[in-house]
Amino acid sequence: AAEGVYGRHIGEAKNVLQHFVRARPNWAGAHFWLGRVLEKQGIYDASAEHLEKAVELNPVMYEAASRAAQVHLKQENWSSALRCGILAWTVNKSLTGIRDRVSEAVIDLIKNGLKQENVSSQCWELLETLDVLFQREELQEHSLRSEVRELLAQRKVSDFKS
């Protein structure tokens, strides 16, 4: 029942928030909530844009960075998801869930690409970024770091064979 009520009022909320964004374009809160409403409506490009604007206006608004990362994951926009996920996690170290979800998505992308022998250089760069992140944050024992290291080792072996 609550979902139905929310659904009926989401259009009104969107209109009000769009008004606030026009009236006060430097208010991070309006961009954050408009981004959330747009995400609920499945308008992911605009949602990510407003969530990232909220972070630009208020760099410690890790909730916006975390939501933007999740929206980018839905769109399979891996580099933006990683960028926003790292930003959210850098601001709030307790957000290990978003760090791990983004890491898992990048790892899965590369594993699937390896099966098809089709991994772009951008994917490898993302994996190297994850490796640096895990190293910098002293997460050498993290299970995802082990997967990252294994994949990077596979790349070196395949590059050597080429």
Residue 83: the pLDDT is 84
Report DSSP state, residue 86: H
Q: Which amino acid is at 121?
A: S
Q: How far apart are CA 147 and CA 114, in angstroms?
A: 14
Per-residue pLDDT for the chain (162 aa), expressed as one digit of tens each? Answer: 334 445 668 888 899 999 999 999 999 999 999 999 999 999 999 999 999 999 999 988 989 999 999 999 899 888 888 888 888 887 887 777 777 887 888 888 788 777 777 777 777 888 888 888 777 777 666 778 788 888 888 877 666 555
pTM, 2 dp: 0.73
Residue 160: the pLDDT is 52
* Orientation of helix 62-74 relative to helix 44-57, angle to 10°: 160
Report DSSP state, residue 137: T
Residue 1: the pLDDT is 34
Residue 152: the pLDDT is 84
Residue 4: the pLDDT is 45
Helix, strand, coil content of the chain in percent (nearest 5): 80, 0, 20
Residue 147: the pLDDT is 84
Residue 139: the pLDDT is 67
